[in-house]
Structure 1
Amino acid sequence: MLMPHPAVLRALVEEYEALTAADTPQTRARVQDVAYTLCVSTGTRDVGVALRTAKDWLAATETSDLAECPHPEEGPHVYA
């Protein structure tokens, strides 16, 4: 299964949480965009499930050597 780079996933989670905390008319469209991206990135259809999945994956990468990609410029990576 393809997984997003931990840094990208972390940025999406942080942005989603910051935008939903603000909850203004100006941020609502961006919230929808980030929610969609989180769902696609985690292979889910519900943003709540996507957030839990993303946080679980991030927690798992903190204890593995996957947290730091030695060559992020190489493009997408597959993590088993």
Structure 2
Amino acid sequence: MLMAHPAVLARLVEEYEAVAQPHPADRREPARQRMEDVVYTLCVSTGTRDIQSALAAARERLRTAWAADGEAGARDCRIVSDASR
């Protein structure tokens, strides 16, 4: 299964959390439509069918991507420090 880039997923989760906050004035059509669009995009991007599964999949992907980046960064630091000796 293809999964969206972590930066895309992070932006979508952030946007979902922003539009999911209850704002009484945002019962208008554009706000409701934006919520539906973000939910749909998150579900498609994660290969899921509901927002809870999409959020869980996106957060897991982000967690593993950040862990991999941290490991790569640590390896890069060791390489640089070894080369400077």
TM-score range (shorter-chain normalised) is: 0.7 to 0.9
Does residue 56 of structure 1 match 2:63? no
Runs of 4+ in 1 over 2 A off after TM superposition: none
> Could you tell me how far apart the structure 2 residues matched to 1:33 and 1:20 are?
12
> Could you tell me how far apart the structure 2 residues matched to 1:59 and 1:13 are?
13
Does residue 46 of structure 1 match 2:50? yes
Indicate the structure whose relative CO is greater, using CA pairs within 8 Å and at least 6 residues apart.
Answer: 1
Alignment of 1:1-80 (within 5 A): 1-23=1-23, 24-26=26-28, 27-65=31-69
Q: How much is the aligned-residue C-alpha RMSD, in angstroms?
A: 1.2
Gaps of 5+ in 2: 70-85
Tell me how far 1:22 sits from its aligned partner.
4.1
Tell me the TM-score normalized by structure 2: 0.71
Identity %: 54
> Could you tell me how far apart the structure 1 residues matched to 2:33 and 2:22 are?
12
Tell me how far 1:3 sits from its aligned partner.
1.1
- Can you list the C-alpha shifts for 1:8-52, whole angstroms capped at 9, x where unaligned? 010000000000114422421100000000000000000111001
> Could you tell me how far apart the structure 2 residues matched to 1:31 and 1:22 are?
12
Tell me the TM-score normalized by structure 1: 0.75
Gaps of 5+ in 1: 66-80
